[in-house]
């Protein structure tokens, strides 16, 4: 079996995966970039218009609303999701009765199709007949029965909460893997030195999980820029596109308005924002570690 470890054999085994990746990922990105510089409408010939589509984004009120909503969801998700998944990982790392059941329950939403999650939470958060507002009205807290979805104010927060609930178990599992990788000798040394629980957490666990935090935050950033099904099923982008995120607005522009060129420009902008956000965070974090 020596031949399997040769460079030629490795290249041959990698070729099918690389070809599939190139055909379904790399090539479509270049095609989208090309059409973003055209006025293509799905029919006829695409005419080159330069950076007209990119300039139009800065004058498109609906795009700016979607951009604002996306950054609000990103901010809320980073805060809720990173803190929540880290705390869940600390709990999953404890030995207690029902630990396996807890792990199953917290990870289960991640394996449910996002469109199904959108349907479930759409009924729960519906401002008229949803479970949350119905319970609040039953117990006399009508003032708290707000327009969770479909409005202009609370929809980004609701989308962030649902997204956090959906992927909490996945990110918690990543944190748990990082915690398991910390040598037990370090915690034994902490016990000998008399360190309490909070000191162990802030001076040992969190500093040694810096790489894990980077991975999770990058995954959250890229995940938020891919949210579509939740918006489609929970709010439909309404009212009048006030609850759109960038991905859902891009879909509307391409497949409903038939402005393929402009929609591809939005898609490229989403890709660039995702890359810029991820690499900026990595660069800042690694620079702090070196200093």
pLDDT tens column, 57-74: 999 999 999 999 999 999
Q: Is the pLDDT of residue 221 over 80?
A: yes
Q: Is the pLDDT of residue 288 over 70?
A: no
pLDDT given at position 12: 83
Note whether residue 63 is domain-resident.
Answer: yes
pLDDT given at position 151: 78
Note whether residue 10 is domain-resident.
Answer: no
Residue 54 in tokens: 């990119």
pLDDT given at position 2: 59
Note whether residue 109 is domain-resident.
Answer: yes
CATH number at residue 208: 1.10.3720.10
Mean pLDDT over 123-132 rounds to 90
Q: Is the pLDDT of residue 3 over 60?
A: no
If phi over 0 gives left and psi between -120 and 50 gives alpha, with beta otherwise, what is residue 42? left
Instruction: Quote the CA–CA distance of 206 and 201 in Å, as a whole number.
Output: 6
pLDDT tens column, 257-279: 889 999 999 999 999 999 998 88
Instruction: Quote the CA–CA distance of 237 and 118 in Å, as a whole number.
Output: 13
Cα 86–chain centre separation: 16
Note whether residue 56 is domain-resident.
Answer: yes
168, exposed or middle or buried, with CB in 10 Å at 0-12, 13-18, 19+? buried
pLDDT given at position 4: 61
Note whether residue 251 is domain-resident.
Answer: yes
Note whether residue 20 is domain-resident.
Answer: no
| pLDDT confidence band for 287 (50 / 70 / 90) | low
Note whether residue 81 is domain-resident.
Answer: yes
Note whether residue 59 is domain-resident.
Answer: yes
pLDDT given at position 285: 73
Domain count, the chain: 1
Residue 118 in tokens: 């959108």
| Segments forming the whole domain that contains residue 131 | 36-290
pLDDT given at position 184: 86
Instruction: Quote the CA–CA distance of 134 and 141 in Å, as a whole number.
Output: 10
Residue 3 vs residues 8, 12, 122, 193: alpha-carbon distances, Å: 9, 12, 55, 53
């Amino acid at each position: 079996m020596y031949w399997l470890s040769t460079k030629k054999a490795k290249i041959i085994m990698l070729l099918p995966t690389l070809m599939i990746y190139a055909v379904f990922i790399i090539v479509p990105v270049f095609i989208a970039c090309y059409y973003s510089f055209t006025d293509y409408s799905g029919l006829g010939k695409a005419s080159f218009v330069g950076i007209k589509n990119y300039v139009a984004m800065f004058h498109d009120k609906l795009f700016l609303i979607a951009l604002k909503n996306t950054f609000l969801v990103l901010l809320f998700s980073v805060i809720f999701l990173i803190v929540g998944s880290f705390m869940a990982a600390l709990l999953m790392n404890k030995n207690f009765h029902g630990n396996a059941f807890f792990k199953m329950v917290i990870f289960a939403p991640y394996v449910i199709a996002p469109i199904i999650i959108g349907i479930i939470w759409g009924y729960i958060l519906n401002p008229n007949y949803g479970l949350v507002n119905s319970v609040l009205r039953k117990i006399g807290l009508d003032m708290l029965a707000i327009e969770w979805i479909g409005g202009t104010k609370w929809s980004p927060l609701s989308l962030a909460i649902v997204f956090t609930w959906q992927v909490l178990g996945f990110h918690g599992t990543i944190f748990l893997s990082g915690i398991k990788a910390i040598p037990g000798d370090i915690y034994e040394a902490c016990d000998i030195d008399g360190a309490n629980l909070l000191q162990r957490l802030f001076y040992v666990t969190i500093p040694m999980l810096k790489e894990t935090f980077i991975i999770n935050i990058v995954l959250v950033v890229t995940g938020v820029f891919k949210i579509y099904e939740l918006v489609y099923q929970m709010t439909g982008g309404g009212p009048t596109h006030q609850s759109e995120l960038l991905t859902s607005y891009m879909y509307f522009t391409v497949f409903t308005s038939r402005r393929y060129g402009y929609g591809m420009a939005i898609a490229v902008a989403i890709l660039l924002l995702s890359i810029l956000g991820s690499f900026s965070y990595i660069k800042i974090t690694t620079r702090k570690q070196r200093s």
